Structure 1
């Protein structure tokens, strides 16, 4: 357990107990039962608010990988189940998505009848396959999962090769617009593997992506992370008109803090920690409205989307929980953090989880408080798990 500046263990904040109780008692059972198709050993993409599977035209690799990772992690951390369904799903997607068209990597999606559908390769999905293999390894101890994760990383370098430290987002195709999101999740997956990997591949890739973030992705004037870039990793729009998603600002801050902790050299840690701190401060200054994290703003804080989605709230909460344990926080700063944690908790349980099946959620809410969608996407559970287990 992390210690405070006084050396005494810092107990978990009371709001965290509510999150974990809901996660373990309602959300994980819901998606393990109603959300899992035992006939195919695949997870459903989405459920209705009454917990019935909702028909979709495509089953995306990314969704399967996120659910596999979540349930392997839950089993590995002793919170829910034994992970057998998740491992069975992992074996199934290896057969249905991996090298399905005879080329390196994993295809994007299959049809409900399990035929290859969208055969492009997507960096975002590959990042989550590497992440899923990490938690399968953590659960089972089977080194075959490490070998498969490393093989996928080597495929990533081949399929999505780009100039400099960046990677293309799709293949085949000339994606002239680059996005930070797949870069962020590949960075996350590599961070998870770094303490366990026998080879330096994951360390090297994480270092390369961190350099890209610090030199290209983060706006030096505001400290926030931009969303979209041209093929040379220059901001896509003129200054002041680029899209910022505050949820990603907080997510990058958490990831960079985690990355800095893996660095033994204090001189190497300092610029990473400084960037993480600026991200948090900028996100709080520009990205919050009425205690909630808004969907999108410009670099100057002008709202681009006034709706709020569930996942940015979870990323904000996870970061707050991490900051609360920071020994450099004084009493007043920690009190502010704890107050913000309670605000996010109140928002989450009062607006995102009420009026629907237990363990379910409304993914996006309009500015007037009404819901924007008629279903629950499985992909949100990965974010929710991170917040609900934050210490």
Structure 2
């Protein structure tokens, strides 16, 4: 009897179709209509119909950094250089150090909070840009911003605060999961770009802190808030994202039990957070696996694809082509993508943010070729 299992060739063809749409539609969108040539910054979002930029209220450093990563990874050196120059010129705080969270529609500082999420993405994007371009200023920025994070954002237990005042004098946000995950991502990228062993040591300390303060032992999931916090959440998309990150350097994480924990978290998130019929990944669960927020955001779908691609077992390999096909059918369209959908498939957010291509790019890069 002929096997009905999908072949590796068919999986590659499905993945290639995603990458072709990205290269032919998404990248031109953000080089063109989505890019403010007066400020040399990406708009926050464009409309779904004609790719018109939404009225500008702010521009975020994190959004600029994500676009810097995307165009660096795509090999579009000239546009990446423009984005790097704009990041440094527009968002670097020359008085206090570090990076502004946002500027206003004219490019003047707006929210001067020192945000760990933003600083992590500066490190991440500059590592990718520096690795591909050899730009020494970018690699210096990786080291300088990482040192600032360790000195200014440090909290008890080898954790890092989520936000500080503009002058770093007061804590405005205590440790939470998401910026710590992206700091892990950033230091993995910095490690690859610089070959500096200091990032190995930093990652081991951070891994120990995550294991001690954020891993929900019954499920293995990395919780959104420190374990024991009231109304804590487990986000399936973040379990899949952590799973992929730990896979990139398992030797740095295994001593703290994160490798085993994330295997269990993957299974928990897949069982409770993925709709068996549509493949849609929900936004959040409670600690027992009940759905708290059923919204299906595109980034969580891309993280599921990336986790499946990196899992390695036969069940994940077999599930991957179907999941790619469901993702393409449910979340992509000729003009771009759908940012959020309801479980019934209705569009919950119609515009396309400048931050989403980063999720598409990282997922597509992990799929088979």
After TM superposition, list the pairs within 5 Å mapping 1:42-81 onto structure 2.
Answer: 42-49=41-48, 50-75=50-75
SS state of the match for residue 304, structure 2? helix
- Contact residue 314 and residue 384 of structure 1 kept, 8 A: yes
Describe the superposition over 1:22-46 as per-residue Cα deviations: whole angstroms up to 9, x where unpaired: 1122222222222222222111110
After TM superposition, list the pairs within 5 Å mapping 1:342-381 onto structure 2.
Answer: 342-354=321-333, 358=335, 360-381=336-357
Find out whether 1:207 has 2:204 as its counterpart. yes
Corresponding residue number in structure 1 for 2:171:
174
Find out whether 1:92 has 2:68 as its counterpart. no
SS state of the match for residue 167, structure 1? coil
SS state of the match for residue 104, structure 1? coil
Corresponding residue number in structure 2 for 1:307:
295
Corresponding residue number in structure 2 for 1:7:
none
Corresponding residue number in structure 1 for 2:316:
337
Corresponding residue number in structure 2 for 1:271:
257
Corresponding residue number in structure 1 for 2:361:
385
Q: How far, CA to CA, are the matches of 2:127 and 2:289 in structure 1?
A: 37
Describe the superposition over 1:266-286 as per-residue Cα deviations: whole angstroms up to 9, x where unpaired: x94693432231221111122
Q: How far, CA to CA, are the matches of 2:256 and 2:110 in structure 1?
A: 46
Tell me the CA shift for residue 347 of structure 1: 2.6
SS state of the match for residue 110, structure 2? strand
**Structure 1 unmatched runs, 5+:** 1-9, 76-81
Deviates more, 1:370-379 or 1:248-257: 370-379
- Contact residue 237 and residue 281 of structure 2 kept, 8 A: yes
Correspondent of 2:214 among 199, 212, 217: 217
Deviates more, 1:336-345 or 1:123-132: 336-345
Q: How far, CA to CA, are the matches of 1:196 and 1:92 in structure 2?
A: 21
Deviates more, 1:284-293 or 1:249-258: 284-293
After TM superposition, list the pairs within 5 Å mapping 1:92-171 onto structure 2.
Answer: 92-100=86-94, 102-171=95-164
Distance 1:270 1:227, change over 3 A: closer
Q: How far, CA to CA, are the matches of 2:16 and 2:287 in structure 1?
A: 35
After TM superposition, list the pairs within 5 Å mapping 1:3-42 onto structure 2.
Answer: 13-42=12-41
- Contact residue 257 and residue 276 of structure 1 kept, 8 A: no
- Contact residue 253 and residue 275 of structure 1 kept, 8 A: no
Deviates more, 1:49-58 or 1:117-126: 49-58
Deviates more, 1:167-176 or 1:109-118: 167-176
Deviates more, 1:172-181 or 1:283-292: 172-181
Find out whether 1:186 has 2:176 as its counterpart. no
Corresponding residue number in structure 2 for 1:242:
232
SS state of the match for residue 249, structure 2? helix
Task: Give the TM-score normalised by structure 2.
Answer: 0.90
Q: How far, CA to CA, are the matches of 1:98 and 1:277 in structure 2?
A: 39
- Contact residue 146 and residue 197 of structure 1 kept, 8 A: yes
Q: How far, CA to CA, are the matches of 2:113 and 2:256 in structure 1?
A: 39
Q: How far, CA to CA, are the matches of 1:205 and 1:379 in structure 2?
A: 27
Q: Which has the higher helix share?
A: 2
Paired positions, count: 352
SS state of the match for residue 40, structure 1? coil
Describe the superposition over 1:35-64 as per-residue Cα deviations: whole angstroms up to 9, x where unpaired: 222222111110001211111311111100
Distance 1:123 1:17, change over 3 A: same
Q: How far, CA to CA, are the matches of 1:210 and 1:269 in structure 2?
A: 9
**Structure 2 unmatched runs, 5+:** 1-7
